[in-house]
Every structure is written in structure tokens, then in C-alpha cells.
Amino acid sequence: MKDNSFLGTEKTGRLLLKLAVPAVTAQLVNLLYNLVDRIYIGHIPEIGTAALTGVGVCLPVILLISAFAYLIGSGGAPRASIFMGAGDDDTAEKILGNCFTLLVAASVALTVVFTVWNEPLLMAFGASEKTVGYGAEYMSVYALGTIFVLMALGLNVFISAQGFTVISMVSVIIGAALNIALDPVFIFALGMNVRGAAIATVISQAASCVFVVAFLASRHSLLRLKWKNFLLRKKIVVPCLLLGISPFIMQATESVITVCFNSSL
């Protein structure tokens, strides 16, 4: 098990650099998912332009899904850090376990919503009759991978909170690199077009999710996922959600702005 005592002894400037650089890199790499998908989709013969427009309308939905990951993860991880700093790792692990359960529950709810009301939501978010079919095709697959997206994003911050920012960055790079490699295979080689792009993204997010969960369940993590901590407790859940409201609103606002842009075009 790695020692994270440097979090309390390192000079502020060096600590900020040590933690911020991998975290910022991970965020930048995470942007590649939708960007790479759209680059490849735009080059699909004959339907590229319309398909690109349809998938572009999915961006507000993707941002909204990630907002729920930030609500839970960015609310729970700082709370876990506080208790770790106080030497109460047991409570910190309970927070991790409760956030894991919340992410699963949110994933199920969002999957149902974006599967059942797929096309109506995309139409409301700015799709047209000509492009909604491509957006719906992409989202029908992407929605099934919601649990991987929420787990990868929501639990990854718990790795960073322990000081393992390089591990956190690697988990994102694994998914992004896999997505870059799989997109041309599914889109062009297998002729799956828009659906292929979504499948490649889901597989890539699943790889990141498995990496994150495996690390948090291993002896290398200071905080570990344990079955006994999965039972939700109000005194743990409520403070985490209250703390996570701010990043949730920031991300959800990005979704609203994107909807406004789509509707004005």
C-alpha cells in the first residue's frame, strides 16, 4: 500500500503542481471521446454530414449524464479526504461505498430515461427530423453504457483524493486511447457507422470503469470498496450530495448552453 503522507507534508506549490497536472491532463483527455467520435463520423461516406449533426445533438445529454457523476463523485471525494485527514479511514470508506451505490442507482435511472424517451429528448435538445435518427441511434447504445460512464468519472475522483493522480490519469488515458483505436474498426471496417462509434465509446468507458473499480478494490488503494459499506446511510449520503450540487449545476449549465446553441442553428 502506498503512503500518502506527502499530502500533509509537501510544500503547497509543489503539491499543487503534483496533483493538478495529472488531473488537468485527465480532463483534457476525457474530452477526446466525443471529439474523436465526431471526427470519424464526419468522414462516413454519403451520410457523414447529417450523422455528424445528429450525434452533435447528443452532446447535451452526454454532459448531463456526466453532471450526475460529478454530483456524487465530486461531492463524496472531498468528504472522504476530510475524514482521511482526520485519521478516520473507516468513515471515508463508508463514503466511498455509499457513493458507489448512488452511482449504480443513478445509472439505472438515467439508462431508463434516455432509452425510453430517446428521440423526444433529442428533438427537445435541438435535433431535426433529418438528423434525429442518427442521434437516436447513437444514444440508444450510449445510454446502455451509462453505468460505465458514471462509474469511471464518479469513482475516479476518489483515486485522486488519495493522492494517486497518475493512476487517475492513466484510467482516463486507457479509455481514450482504446476509443481512438476502436472507432475506425467499428465505424468503417465493420460498417456499423454511427452505432459503431457508440459501441466503441461504451467499450472504452467500460475499460476505464473496470480499471478504476479494480484499483479501488485492490490492496494498493488506501480506501477500498467493501460490501458492508454499500448500504446507504442518510447521514453519509446527504452531506455528499449537498457538496456535489455546485459541480453538478456547473456541468448541467454547460448542457443547457449547448441546447441553446443547437436550437439556434
In a domain, 70, yes or no: yes
Higher pLDDT, 117 or 260: 117
Query: How many independent structural domains does the chain possess?
Result: 1
User: Does residue 233 carry a pLDDT above 90?
Assistant: yes
pLDDT of residue 234: 96
In a domain, 56, yes or no: yes
In a domain, 18, yes or no: yes
User: Does residue 129 carry a pLDDT above 90?
Assistant: no
In a domain, 136, yes or no: yes
Q: pLDDT tens-digit profile of 138-153?
A: 999 999 999 999 999 9
In a domain, 220, yes or no: yes
Residue 15: partners with Cβ closer than 8 Å, 6 or more residues away? 6, 7
25-59 in b/e form (b: 16+ CB < 10 A) is bbeebbebbbebbbebbeebeeeeebbbbbbbbbb
In a domain, 1, yes or no: no
Enter the C-alpha cell of residue 88: 478516520
Q: Output Rg (C-alpha) for the chain, integer angstroms.
A: 19
User: Does residue 5 carry a pLDDT above 70?
Assistant: no
Enter the C-alpha cell of residue 24: 488537468
Q: pLDDT averaged over the chain?
A: 89
Mean pLDDT of the region 26-43: 79
State how far the Cα of 74 lies from the Cα of 264, in Å rounded to an integer: 32
In a domain, 249, yes or no: yes
State how far the Cα of 143 lies from the Cα of 205, in Å rounded to an integer: 12
What backbone torsions phi and psi does residue 164 show, to the nearest 5 degrees? -90, 60
pLDDT of residue 259: 81
User: Does residue 164 carry a pLDDT above 70?
Assistant: yes
Specify the amino acid at residue 213. V
State how far the Cα of 64 lies from the Cα of 60, in Å rounded to an integer: 6
Please tell me whether residue 177 adopts helix, strand or coil conformation: helix
Higher pLDDT, 251 or 19: 251
Q: pLDDT tens-digit profile of 90-117?
A: 999 999 999 999 999 999 999 999 999 9
Residue 26: partners with Cβ closer than 8 Å, 6 or more residues away? 156, 165, 168, 169, 171, 172, 173
Enter the C-alpha cell of residue 98: 455509499
Could you tell me the pTM of the whole model?
0.91
Domain with 241, as residue range(s), is 6-264
pLDDT of residue 94: 97
pLDDT of residue 78: 93
